[in-house]
Structure 1
Amino acid sequence: MSINLAGALLMMASMACFTLNDTMLKLTAGAVPLFQLLFIRSTITFGLILATRGRLGALHFDIARKDWMIIAVRAGTEILLAYFFLTALFNMPLANLTAILQVVPLAVTLASAVVLRETVGWRRMLAIAVGFCGVLLIVKPGAEGFNVWSLYGVIAMLLVTVRDLVTRKLSPTVPSMTVTLVTAGAVAVAMGLASLGVTWVAIDLLTAALIVGSAVFIMGGYFFSIQVMRSGDVSFTAPFRYTGLIWALLAGWFVFGEWPGVMTLIGAAIVVATGTFSFYRERQLSGG
């Protein structure tokens, strides 16, 4: 197996794990208050990362002060993201939300050009503009099908963009698993404090299994996504992140009986096509 093929398979496995995590959390909707759910899930994830003892990647805390500031900003963004993403997830079809999030690579490219002053040619800028038009087809602003949950999905997409942009500023020596551990801990603390204002409920066996399962699958997503960075050409493997939309369509159909409308599917296809072109163009410019 070539290293690029291995990277593609790892990326698809990562997307499958993240989708399974989303599916399990969506299945708990209404059974547990959101803040209680996030506190429990994040605490389990925190414990699982500690239990690996660095087997999924380096884990140490000898990090420069500048990087600690970046990690703190990233963790704060992740706290907001957890709220907006899960609120949207519980109130709109999984595939629709996943389709909105597929524009993140395009949004990161645009933000890199505007904020980080990275060079982005007119072809990729055009692809970004077309991609955002695809998002408009998905969320349908002003149409009868638009609601506040679609807006929550867009906010989640913007927060993921900010998170990824901030992550780019981290020094290469900062371990990914340390960042993941701190993030999980920060979300657990924030949601634990927020949950003090709500009435906790007893959790039945099925809901507990779903929460534990989501924590395991999100750890799988973290593990595979980290391994992807060590396997193959990133410009080759990156487009395979769009398989997350396929997993979401399958989960939506078989688990929730949901299937997106024609306009949503067209919008998703536009986003995937423009994102793939953007990766292809980046590979050409880098000489790949």
Structure 2
Amino acid sequence: MPAAAPLSANVKGVIFMALAMAGFSMNDALVKSVTGEMGTAQIMFLRGLMTSVLVIALAWQFGALRPGRIALTPVLALRIFAEVGASLTYISALGQIPLANAAAILQALPLAVTLGAALFLGEPVGWRRWMAIVVGFIGVLIVLRPGPEGFTPAALSVVACVVFAAIRDLCTRRIAREVPSLFITVLTSVVITLVGAALIGPTGGWRPVGPESLAHLAGASFLLLIGYQCIVLAMRNGEISFVAPFRYTSLIWSIGLGLIFFAEVPDVWMVTGILVIVGSGLYTFYRENRRRVAAIAQTSEPGTPK
């Protein structure tokens, strides 16, 4: 029997991206399942504590630990602050709105990163991608449904999470390459744990944790770590323009998990908003790929300085 052909780099990237999105989505579902039993800060602390133990062990194993003073670097400190803000806003929203709605709004993140890169990093963005960004945010408004039922504080909290996550991703681009990704994850996880611990008292105090809820958070911690590592492997194996659109597989997971475990049935507005957001995001990835290919072709022309 002939040996199976090795997987291409892009196929490996797609597999890792799909695994990452599955991990993140199941983490969200497990976190949502305990929001009625404990507050956001307590969830951040318990999940962060377990995640920190796992990621510190990994970082030690791979020699990725560095002096803690690196966290004082302004861009890294801002990234950690943004990650804390994203965790606070997203976890607080999960218990109040359907899982698929939260995931749909979060899909505006690539558009927000493109917008931020244009405004703050000076990256060129043509009019077509500007239009895609505008259309994508219209899709977010469709999901939000401005009015008494849709435009809720919880939904706005997810929008705030998108802003924080965009700041996080933009800061990541500016972090020195010699700082290991695992060490960044260690710092972020430890700070989130400490912030969660500090906020438990002001946000209602400690609540008893049953064994089932603790098991859910342990599973969430493991899945979160799997998601982080798989997304790094996805970006390092495949071409970003080919792999990145598979982020949207998280919507399939979120809709399915919401339907099965929380009896959340998507309505026509949510489905319409998802289609608009995904369509604009895919077009943005397409234009980015076209721009990158054109740049490569230009530098490869005879007589072009290398």
Same fold (TM over 0.5): yes
Q: Describe the superposition over 1:243-263 as per-residue Cα deviations: whole angstroms up to 9, x where unpaired.
A: 111110111111111022101
Can you list the C-alpha shifts for 1:8-30, whole angstroms capped at 9, x where unaligned?
01001000000010000000112
1:211 equivalent in alignment to 2:217 = yes
Q: Give 1:87-102 correspondences, 5 Å limit.
A: 87-102=92-107
1:209 is displaced (CA, Å) by 0.4
Whether contact under 8 Å (2:59, 2:183) holds in the other structure is: no
Among 246, 252, 256, the alignment partner of 1:246 is 252
Match of 1:262 in 2: 268
The alignment's TM-score, normalised by the length of structure 1, stands at: 0.95
> Out of 179, 190, 214, which is 1:185 matched to?
190
User: Rg bigger for which structure?
Assistant: 2
Partners of 1:48 and 1:180 lie apart in 2 by 11
2:73 equivalent to 1:68: yes
Q: Deviations over 1:55-83 (max 9, x none)?
A: 5x661316996983222111111222211
Task: Tell me the TM-score normalised to structure 2 length.
Answer: 0.89
In the alignment, which of 26, 29, 33 is matched to residue 27 of structure 1? Answer: 33
CA distance in 2, matches of 1:230, 1:16: 19
**Cα offset for 1:216?**
0.5
In structure 2, the partner of 1:230 is: 236
Equivalent residue pairs, number: 287
Q: Deviations over 1:147-182 (max 9, x none)?
A: 111111111111111111111111222211111100
In structure 1, C-alpha distance between the alignment counterparts of 2:27 and 2:14, rounded to whole Å: 20
Asked if the contact 2:235–2:243 (Cα under 8 Å) also holds between the matched residues in 1, the reply is no
Cα distance between partner residues in 1 of 2:235 and 2:66: 21
Write the distance in 2 (CA, Å) between the matches of 1:53 and 1:167. Answer: 18
Q: Kindly indicate whether the alpha-carbon contact (under 8 Å) linking 2:59 and 2:65 is maintained by their aligned counterparts in 1.
A: no
Which of 262, 279, 286 is equivalent to 2:285? 279
Q: Matched residues in 2 for 1:63 and 1:199: separation?
A: 30
Equivalent of 1:106 in 105, 111, 119 = 111
CA distance in structure 1 between the partners assigned to 2:27 and 2:123 by the alignment: 34
User: Offset of 1:145 from its aligned partner?
Assistant: 2.9
Q: Structure 2 unaligned segments of length 5 or more: list them.
A: 1-6, 297-306
Shift of 1:238: 0.5
Aligned partner of residue 37 in structure 2, secondary structure: coil
Q: Which runs of 5+ in 1 are unaligned?
A: none
Q: Distance in 2 between matches of 1:67 and 1:2?
A: 40
Whether the 8 Å CA contact 2:71–2:187 is kept in 1: the answer is no
Which segment drifts farther, 190-199 or 237-246?
A: 190-199
Report deviation, 1:122: 0.9
Of 60, 79, 82, which aligns to 1:77?
82
Q: Does the 8 A contact of 1:63 with 1:174 survive in 2?
A: no
Deviates more, 1:213-222 or 1:137-146: 137-146
Q: Is the 8 A contact 2:42 2:197 kept in 1?
A: yes
Q: Tell me the equivalent position of 2:200.
A: 195
| C-alpha spacing 1:66/1:29, structure 2 compared with 1 (3 Å) | closer
Corresponding residue number in structure 1 for 2:140: 135
- Give the superposed CA RMSD: 1.8
| Equivalent-residue separation in structure 2 for 1:73 and 1:104 (angstroms) | 18
Comparing 104-113 and 71-80, the one that deviates more: 71-80
Q: From the superposition, tell whether residues 138 and 70 of structure 1 become closer, same or farther in structure 2 (CA, over 3 Å).
A: same
Report the Cα offset of residue 229 of structure 1: 2.0
Q: C-alpha separation between the residues in 2 aligned to 1:26 and 1:66?
A: 30
Report how far residue 220 of structure 1 moved: 0.5
